[in-house]
Each structure stands twice: as C-alpha cells, then as structure tokens.
A and B are shown apart, each in its own frame.
Chain A
Amino acid sequence: MHTAPGDDTTLVLGLGNPILGDDGVGWRVAEALEARIAREGRIDSPRGALPPRVEIDRLSVGGLRLMERLIGYRRAIIVDAVETGTAPPGTVRRVRLDELPVPGQERLASAHDSSLAAALALGRSLGAPLPESPWVVTVEAELGIEVGDRLTAAVEAAIPVATTAVLEVLAQDEARGDEGGTGSCTS
C-alpha cells in the first residue's frame, strides 16, 4: 500500500472545495506557493532557501482518502479553512493535527467517512508509512453553503500570511532535520 516518493519530501496539501467560497482558501495558498516556486525557481523562507524536497498538491476530500494521499510522506502540511468562531475571519493559525481541539478522535468524520485521526490510526495499524503528526495551517473563514469561486476579502488577504506560515513550518521542520519534530507551534 505504499505510494512512497522514496525520500523525505514534505507534502503540502491545500484542502478544500474551490467552488465553495472561503473553503477554497487551501487551494489558493497551494497556488500561491507554486507561483512563488515557478517565479523564483526556489522558495526563500524566513530562515533561508528551502531545499526542493517539497511537493504541493490540492485535495477536496477528507477521512480515508486524505489519509491515503499522505501515505509515504514523513512530513505533511495541510492548509485548510476552519470555522471555530474564536477569531476574526482571516486569522491564520498553525497546529499539529493531534492538537486540534477535537474530543473523541475516533468518531465518524461525516456521514460517509472516518475522521482523519481515525483514518491515520487505521493506516498506521496496517503498517502504512504516514506522517507522525501532520501540521495544519488553518485560516479562519466564513464558511457557508453558497457556491462561488471567490473568497471573502479578509480571507483573500490572509493568503500571503498563510503562505508564510507554511514556509515557516517547512523551515522549522528542515531545521529539525530528520527528527520529524514533535513540538508544538502556534501563532
């Protein structure tokens, strides 16, 4: 069940639905990162140039399918919109997945799938190589059920902030070398 890229590439995954308003912000951050790489041929992080071992992708699914996409990566950064109601729209945070304030980690994610935490636990129990605890860069959003491919102004303005947050996490993990990193970081 390995789709391993064969090295210690970090996967940066923009998560969300690109036609569901602010939920599309994960894709837009992925796009911004790609644009920078295309333009500059490399990414300059706050701590210096990053190595090219970064893979950027987008995904619109959670649970088992998201877990399956993470197989083979030792490090992963997921960028996603959240609606916690505890901060103004556009607020960017970064946390470890297992630090997300979610009780009952094994509960069903949705009417159709497992939670990512349960899916990761399943994958690990089956011996799949998976990131220890993926980073999650979240953007506080105004999530609705209105179809549209535009972000609200505050969330649009958060794209560069979230992009920088991804670069910082990348640099931090790089500085840790192969330890994988277990500490927490919130901003």
Chain B
Amino acid sequence: MESRTPTMQRITIDPITRLEGHGKIEIFLDERGEVANTYFQIPELRGFERFCVGRPVEEMPVLTNRICGVCPEAHHMAAAKAADAVYHVTPPRPARLLRELLYSGFYFTDHTTHFYALGGPDFIVGPDAPLAERSILGVVRKVGLEIGGQVIQARRSGHRVVEIIGGRGVHPATAVPGGMTKGITEEQRAEIEAIGHWAVDFARGSLEIFDRIVLQNPGYRELLEGDAYTDRTYYMGLVDEGMHPNFYEGRVRVVAPDGEPLGTYDPAEYTDWIAERVEPWTYLKFPYLKRVGWKGFVDGKDSGVYVASPLARLNVADGMATPLAQAEFERFFATLAPQPSAGGRHGMVHNRLATHWARLVELLYAAERLVELATDPEITSDDVRAVPTATPTEGVGTVEAPRGTLTHHYWTDDRGLITRVNLVVGTTNNYAPISMSVRRAAQSFIHAGTVVTDGLLNRVEMAFRSYDPCFGCATHSLPGQMPLEVTIHDADGGIVDVLRQHC
C-alpha cells in the first residue's frame, strides 16, 4: 500500500463475511487529512420477531440458540429465563446450579477462543506482524505447540460440560420453563469437577502468558495505558448481592466513569434504564442510559453512553466471587488504575485493550466456578424442574453473554404462544462505544500523509475486536475469511482508490 495525500477524505474499512454480516467502518477525513469522524455499521437480523410470533414460548430456548453460532448457549439461557418469567415460575435451586454450571463451561470455551484466536494475534503475535502470522497459528508458533494443544483441550473440556448438561455439545437443549429436563449423575459430576480443576490451571497459565508476553513488553504496555483506545464511559454488568460479577443471574449494576455507582436494577426494569438513540445515517439504534441522557458519541459523566463487556463487568464489580480470580482482579486494578475512585471504590480502567486482560480474569473465575458448582451438594439432585402452572403472560430473561448483557423479553397469549419479542443482544449495548473507539484509534493512528499500512488498519480494527462484537446473524463461514475493503474518497466524495484484502 502506498502513501496517501491529505486530499483524500474518506476511508472505509469493510469487513465482510458471508454470514457474520456486512460490517463496515467508514472514516471521514477533513481538508487537512485528519480524521474528522468515523461510522461503524453492521447489519441486524431481520424478521426474527415475525418468525417467532405464534410459536409456543417453550420452543424459544431451542429456537433462539439458532440466532447465532457464536453464543448459542447465551441465547439458550436468556430464553429459558425469559420463559420462566413468562410462566411465573422459579426453577428449583439444583436446576439453576446446573444452568450456571453449563454456562460456566461455555464461558470457559468462549473466552479461551477469543483470547487465543483473536486477542492473541493482536497481542501475542503483534499488531504490526505480517498478516499471515496474525492468526491462531502464529499464536501457537509463538507460545509453543504444547499450549496450542491445551487450547484445543480447553475448548473440548468446555464443550464436554455443555454436552453433559445440555444434552448436545453444540446448541444445548435441556433448559425449559421451570428448570431442566434432566439432572446429572455422580459420575458426570465427577467428570465436570475434574475438568474444572484442569481449567483453573489452564486459566492461570493463560494469565501468566499475558503477563509475560504483553505486560512485560513496553510497546504493548504503551498501547494498554495510552489514550488511543481509551474512552471514559459508563459501564454495566450483572452482579450478585456482594457486587461480584455473575454471568447467569443477579441485578444489573451501572457505574459512572469516575467509579461512582449509578445504581442497580432488576433486569425486568431494563426499559426504565435504557433508551435507544436513532441516528439518520444508520438503522442501528444506539442504547444509552435514560437517566444520564444522550449527548452524542462522546465520553464523560454527562454522556449516557455505556459499555457492557468483560472490562465493564470488572469495572462495575467490587470484587470477584472466587479467590484466585479475586487476586487477579486486585492485580488488574493495581496495575492499570492504581488510584482509588472518588467514592473509595477501586480505580476505573477505560482502555479498551484492557478488555483482553479482563477476559482472562473472567476465564479464571469461570474455571473456579466450574469446581464450586460441581462440588455443590445439590448439583446431582433430581429436583430439577418446577412444572409451570400459572397462566403465561410476559417475561424478561437476562444473562451476561461473553460480549455483553443479553436480554430476551417475550409476551405471550394465555396459551403461551408468542405475541411479541424484544431482544437486546450483547453487542447492541456497545454500538456507540465501538464507534467511539474506532474513531479514537483512527484519530491516533491516521494523520495527514500517513502511510496506510496493513498494520495501521489492523490497529483500527483492534479497537472493535476488543469488544468481541457479535453480528447477530452469525452462524459459520465458508470459506471463512474476513475481507477488508478500504475505500478512499476525495473531498467531493469520488472514489480515489479501493484497497482490498481477502475480497
């Protein structure tokens, strides 16, 4: 790629995969060739509500996990919880434990995959490494085949937990209104416990790798602590009564950029807290905090833009519910935000690239939680379902998807047939902050006369990759590439050049 002159006014990064959807980043430059603004656009799945209307609500946990091939378990759980609420039924404790155990196995797999297959290429291999090296293969070359084998083992272990409890390794099917269709045997419990112990070691090893390769590298430390990836926004996440993150249940806590808690709410009250901003240039709707208000794509305490992500969950928490993860939580904040917040809480970490570290802290928590839940005396109980008897009406189910707070909201008639559906998926929460992060990165790395190199575009891409965005309709992809199209426009909007890779 060659040197660009300041006369070019618009850069479009167009990551298109067949089913991930046609995500696009547009970067507008001013007359001097400086970044004036950026726009992030992705398609949303259409027709889902129409597809669901008229179907029995108990089908939703199986149906909605088809929405997305990336986090079917998250949709399965949110749908089951929403269906519980529609039928006004609370599953027995053993059923809730089993769901959370399945979910912990899923988290363990998902976070492992993101770190090694996505974060790894950026950090372990390096943002300026040749394109061909920036893949999980490059990561394995760097960290060694033994770790590569462990990554595959980690994925298999998490899938195994999902399979034991969910009945299938992909697209689990056992969560139903009121609980689960089956429990687990002592033998299965013991297998999951053993997986959990192994998982704890693997997660600790992953944190050591992050420490050695990322934290001890001055260049990466600069990225992690600099301003290029930093926006001071609100954060959101599910917490338990002790204000620790919980992926499966709890209240939603919202914390301001300066660390002051704005409050907590029951997930069923989400419409009291969240509103959606409509912009003329896109059909995407940008959620924001009602109580703070929409002030545009800006950060700060007066702007209602919030983030829901691993970083957000750590920022809103007062600690972790498991001991090893708690120690890592303390190290995370002591390293990146050593000054306490005004209200006495831990400091706030706003650099989006720190999300990768936060994800590893959560990985360790998920692993420890596997052991905790697998050794709960009630986990092998047969009391796994409260059969619904009340007339179904309306219900909300919320879980933390790996990539943000996920809410399913269903309305039914008195026979339990769906009449209306609303979903707020994890990535939706982050539309505005993703746009802002991309703009911030572009402003930092693109200047007049900048050579538009592959590494530079990757640094802009890194901004949204840290959010682990899910494009809603994703299932799989053959041949499986993420093409980038960079369209550069002049001051009149005419196309000067189109740079392509993988398309």
Q: Mark A residues whose CB is within 8 Å of B.
A: 1, 15-20, 23, 59-66, 68, 78, 80, 82-83, 97, 100-104, 106-119, 121-123, 125-126, 128, 136, 138, 143-149
Contacts and interface: CB of A to CB of B under 8 A. Distances in A.
B137 A122 contact: yes
Given A1-B149, A19-B66, A146-B45, 13 more contacts: A17-B69, A60-B171, A63-B476, A66-B476, A97-B479, A103-B481, A110-B20, A110-B477, A112-B474, A125-B140, A145-B46, A147-B45, A147-B46
Contacts of B70: 110, 112-113
Contact of A112 (B18, B114, B145, B501): B114
A1 to B, nearest CB: 6
Of A63, A97, A145, A146, most buried by chain B (CB within 10 Å of CB) is A145
Of B113, B136, B476, most buried by chain A (CB within 10 Å of CB) is B476
Interface in B449-497: 465, 468-482
B476 A126 contact: no
A65 B148 CA distance: 15
Contacts of B478: 15, 62, 78, 80, 82, 100, 116, 136, 138
Interface of B: 15, 17-21, 23, 43-48, 50-51, 63, 66-67, 69-70, 72, 113-114, 117-118, 121, 131-138, 140, 145, 148-149, 152-153, 155-156, 159, 170-171, 465, 468-482, 501-502
A16 B66 CA distance: 10
Given A68-B156, A108-B118, A115 B148 contact: no
16 contacts: A16-B475, A17-B476, A20-B19, A23-B19, A61-B170, A102-B480, A104-B481, A108-B135, A114-B137, A114-B480, A115-B477, A116-B479, A119-B136, A122-B136, A138-B478, A143-B19
A109 B17 contact: yes
Contact of A19 (B20, B51, B153, B156): B51
A108 B149 contact: no
A21 B382 CA distance: 40
Contact of A109 (B156, B471, B477): B477
A110 B44 CA distance: 16
B454 to A, nearest CB: 11
Contacts of B50: 147
A145 B149 CA distance: 36
A126 B144 CA distance: 10
A144 B63 CA distance: 19
Contacts of A125: 137, 140, 145, 148
A148 B18 contact: no
A123 B153 CA distance: 11
A62 B69 contact: yes
Of A59, A60, A82, most buried by chain B (CB within 10 Å of CB) is A60
Contact of A111 (B153, B465, B501): B465
A23 to B, nearest CB: 7
A108 B136 CA distance: 8
Given A60-B66, A108-B117, A118-B136, A82 B18 contact: yes
B63 A118 contact: no
Contact of B480 (A18, A60, A103, A109): A109
A101 B503 CA distance: 10
B152 A68 contact: yes
B385 to A, nearest CB: 27
B475 A60 contact: yes
Nearest to A18: B66
A83 B481 CA distance: 13
B428 to A, nearest CB: 14
Given A64-B113, A143-B19, A122 B502 contact: no
Of A1, A17, A128, most buried by chain B (CB within 10 Å of CB) is A17
A145 B48 CA distance: 10
A62 B477 contact: yes
A61 B135 contact: no
A111 B140 contact: no
A132 to B, nearest CB: 17
A110 B155 contact: no
Given A64-B155, A104-B481, A111 B470 contact: yes
